[in-house]
Each structure stands twice: as structure tokens, then as C-alpha cells.
Structure 1
């Protein structure tokens, strides 16, 4: 479907077959992102992995993400952090059980995820400090700004409207405040390393993301300070709201489908048995849980649209696509395509059992993390957190809706924006298994 947003032609792709042509056959030609003003301003002139132009610089920083920050070994090294924060989540829910109070799952999951991201990035619970709380608020403002339509991106001569309606000021203020906090954190770490007498490149017992980036910064003259900050912004943008939102949607679908929840609880409790703590080995055995997560990502992809930009003229399915055309891959629609899915609007995790379909980018009818050169490098990190949190919620508690709400009446309205969440936060009653 070809639309025209001002002076920009926008081609919407809503089928797996066409997505394969765009993101595999012609992936190189569509490896750039559209130059949105908000992303450029908030990501240090597009120095981050998400929005930087395709080329040698992008290859270098993506390799840092894939090989050093988000490798399987590195994700496993953060396992203790995830387990500690999951145990604290369980304690907070138990406090609600004791007083028969509904659990605000959105708030608790957001708090847990914020702690995991801060500890993985900076090695401590910054989210308990004023600067930490402010930073998480700024990341949410960031997500709101990049999800807004800025008319100047599509009709350049109307760019002045951003100055009149306050959009430009909000971007400038948010970018400045994010930079101030990141600069403070970096300076604190550099002073700490100097005080301890660390030498350049000397490995620490437990490295966080900031350690990795500062080691590269100290050794590689081509990596500047803004790049360090831009990559840290990527970590928080990709790892906070997206994981929290997915977990809230999963719990919402389970509460709407008690049969699925019972089946999942049976699997989790059967694997873990009487053990107090869930291990990585336990999670590997939970096939139905993995199917539940996949089915949720099919119905509720974190980022429903994946924008690309045509670098040169190309032919797609016999149609001429001009250079400069914005390509919007509709991941939400592809996940509900009738040709690929039976009863696509139904929540049926069983469809993924005994199925080779996965979200690693090879199955184009199921690409919630994108695919190709611009696919999300944080799949392992996101799934590791979701699996552990969900397994704990299923093992430790039984769940029901409060105030006599029937499953079919649970409000599932989606918000607008780049990463839609539930309009109404999820409240649920937890109880100890009988």
C-alpha cells in the first residue's frame, strides 16, 4: 500500500512474502532508517545502533553490541542479577497476598526491569537514586517523543511548527537532561577506576555495559564519548519499556485464558518441583512457556512497525520503488496474516509446539524482533528476563482478576505510539497455590 506523507512516499508492507523481499533479498538497499528529527536529536546525531546510517561505523558499533555486550555468555553472566530481582518481585507480591490487595503488575514489572537494566548497565541500583528515577522517566519521555508525528520530517517547509507547539523544546530539554545524567555516571566510573588504580583494558570480575564501553573508548580513538552515551541510550530504550510491556501483555492474555495459565503453571511447577529458585537449566525445559511468549509476541509485537529507507531505485514484486521511499514493515499485520496462521486473532500457544517457527529472523511470518541487518541484537537479553520473571509468577502464585471481573471483560485496549502498551494498567489478585 503506497501512501504519501507530505513529500515522502511511504510504502506499507503487510505480508511475509513481501517482507522477505525487503528484509532479505534487498536487505542492503533497505538497511537505512528514515532520518527522523527526534531520533537524531536524542541519539547524539544518530550515533546509536538503532538509527545510525548503514556503513562502516554502524558495523563497528553493532559488532560491539552483538559480540561484547549482548553475547550469550554476557547475557548468562547477568543471571544472578535477574534472579535476585525476581526474588524481590516475589516478596513484594507476597506482601500484597498477605493483605488481600490487588497487585499492580505494570508497576512491579517496570520496577524489576528498571533494576535489572541499571545493574547490568552500571553495576548498581541507580534506579533507587533521584537521578536514576529521573533517567527512567526521561526514557519514557524519549519513547513518547519518537512516537509522535513531527510534521517537519514529512513536510520540511512546515518544520517551524515544532518551534511553535513546543515539540523542539521538549526534544532539546530531554536530550540535555539525558546527557547530563549519563555524563555524571561516566565521570563517576572513571574516577572510581582511577582511584582503584585500574589500568586500561584490565578486566574486572563482573563487567557491566559501562565497563565494556569505557574499555573500548580508552583503547579505540575512533570511538568518542557521544558514541558511549548513544549506545547506553540504546540499551535502556530497547530493554526497559519493551520487556515490561511484553510481560504485562503476557499476563493479560493468561488471565483472559485460564486454561492456558493452568497448563503453563502445571509445566513450570512440574519442572521446578519443590526447589525455591528457578535455574537456567529449568527454563530450558519449559517448552510451553516459550510457546506462550512466542504467541504473545505474535499478537503484541513490541514495535509493530519497522521503518526502513530505500537507498536506491529497486523493484519489489514487479513494482518500481524509488530511492528515498520510506518502507514500513507492518509486523503486527504479518503476525495475523491468514495465509500464515490459523485463527490468527486467537491466543493459542499450542501453535508453536512441535513447530520450528522462531523469532530469530529466519521465519518472515513471525518477526517481532525484526530481521536482517537491522534486526534487534537484544533477543537473548529480552527473552532471558521474560522467561525468568514469567516462570516465577507461575510457580509461586495463582492469579485471578479483581473485583469479580470476568476474563472476557478484561480491557485489552492498546495505546498509540511506537511501542503500544495497555491503556489500562493490569491489576490482578495473587494467591498462594493450594
Structure 2
């Protein structure tokens, strides 16, 4: 098929590459011409395992190209909208200006029978609004919604081998379903289930999924507070309740909380939309999830002060991790950077390191000292904080740092280290939800 992908940031770049890998002829279009040129040269602007090699491979087939020219959509019959929908600068709702601009640029080139497929995360009701816009313009194009469920660090696999495909389409629009089945034919043939729904349900699926995950994470972090107050161990508690098949163990890891470019802004936008629709209990629930999550950053700062005998002024703190999660260079709303900046505001001398996100951390927080190795970060440190659970940090041995630090103190902000091992080596070990 001839397909256009509009918006070539994280989602669009991965989606375009994977569609070309599946055998389609794909053009990726982005208003940032420099970004498009980089992708067309095989150089993604972000780190995602496996993407660069797949991009190089698919570009070589001639089935994939990227451009900044909106006219390049002409000739394609399926158009995926993959633009960003960040949080509004002054309130919790989603900023749809990029989406509306992309639709405006697309309209002149639409033909009767074209299918415009939204993948961006949007407030419920957006797809219907766009369908009305296309109809008013006499474009003859139909609208479908096909939400994405990518995990940073696993985006290629999640696109090529997803655990489900969700299609939202207008009532009786069987043609949209048939076209999407053709787009994803190899994926469906491999056994991926397809869930067909109306437009509103498809829009809600993504934000509901993210909100459930966020709620689960905030729940176990609330239990961490209870465990600290009661003298219990949240990791054992999580193992025990996670054995219940109704609950499951995934995402029951107490720590510094979630961040990134999706979960925080999605739950806020979902809450804002719920409030607009008068569903106040949903809005209140999501507000509490957000508050609990943000409070975990304060708790890590407090733990650090405790291990430093209550005085952060002048303390030298090594922060291991800058990205919001491992296998990513994304520092948007990163808990690790938020903690580092708060420690610095309280008078600590902070050095941050990360195997992939160091450059982005420097750009995002110019006032922070960002170094290139654990050795540099830990040299002379009064405390070491593990805040992003990269494999190389999880596998650190107490002896690896003992000769570098001034004081053997570690705060395990992700609950991934063995406390017995570190304490046996003479370290003061603290972690949220464990005494």
C-alpha cells in the first residue's frame, strides 16, 4: 500500500519504519525539515534499541523516505496522524495545535476514499470533530482511530509484534476496518488479535490503559509510605499481592515514580476531559494518582537528607540515571532529573550520569553537572542515588564504588539492589518502602 505518516517524532519515526519493513511504501512527513532530513539519512533523533538498524535497512529498500514537504502525501491512500499532543503550557489538558495543523496541511491533498488514521493520544471526541471537519471540507475521506501502545525501549517490537490492535471507526464503516486489516496483514497473520470499536472507545482505550498503569504504580508507592510507617517491606508485600492473578506483579515496583512524555501528560489530559464531561470522580482519582506520583520525588530527596545526617548543604551527591526509564534517552518529566534539581536547590553538589541521556540532560537542565561515567559521578560522593534502573546500575557491586565515595551511603530509588549485600559491605542502604 501507499501510506503517509504525518509527524515523525518518536511515534511517527518508529511507525513509518515498521510499516515499510512490513512491505508498504511509506513517506514520513514532518514540519521540522531538519528532523525529516536526519531520518532520511538514517539518523534518528532519539535513542531506541533496534530502530537505527531497521531504519537503515528499510531506507535501502527504497520503500521508505522522509521529507518536510506536505505535498508528499499526494498519492497515498492511507494517512497516519502521529503528531505530538503535549500538555498545554498553562493547564492540564492536551495541546492539539500540532494535530490541527497537520490536518490543515493534509486537507488539500485528500481524495475520495482516502482513510485518515489517528494514532496520536487525544481527548475523547477528537476523532468525531476531525470527521466533521473533513466532511465540511468535502474531502470524501473517512476517519479511523488506531491508538498506539508503544513502550519506550521496546517500540519496534511493540509495533511489529503488538499484544493487540485496536481500530475505532464510524458506525457501519466496514471499509476502514478492511483497510487497516490490509495495513497490518502480516501482524494479524502472526496471531495478533484485533479489537474493533467505535471512535470514542478507541480514543479512550489508550488513556484508560495509561491511567490504569499509572494508578497501579501510584498504589504501590502509597503502600511504600504505609510500609515505612509500619516497619514493613514493600518489596515482599508486592511479591505477595502480585501472586494474585487478579492483580499481577508487573508495575508493582515502589520507587521514585513514573515520568516521561506519556503517562504524566496523558493522565492529566484524561482528568481534564473527564472534568469537562462532568465525570468528577474520574478526574479526582487521576488527580490523586498524579499527586502520589509527584510526592515520591520529594520522598527520595528526604531519604537522601536522612542518610546525610539531615544536612544536604554542601553534600556531594551522585545521581545514577537521567532518563525517565532505562533503554531510553528521554528526559521529559524525568523523576531522576527532578530529584537532582531539588537536591541542588537545597544546597547539595550534584553530579548526574546516564549511559544514553547525558546530552539530553545537559540540554534540559543546563545548571546541573552532568558527567559521562559512574566513576566521575561517584568520586568523593557523600551519597549515591540510583534513580534510573539501567542494567549496568542494577549490576553494580558494592566494591565497584567503595574506593570512590567519601561515605558509603546509597539510596536505591528503584528498589533493584540487594540490601543485604550492600549492608554486608559496610554501606548504609535506604530505599522507599523499606527500613
- TM-score, shorter chain, exceeding 0.5: no
TM-score, normalisation: structure 2: 0.24
Query: 1 or 2, which has the higher helix percentage?
Result: 1
Query: 1 or 2, which has the higher strand percentage?
Result: 2
Structure with more relative contact order (C-alpha pairs < 8 Å, separation 6 or more):
1
Bigger radius of gyration among the two: 2
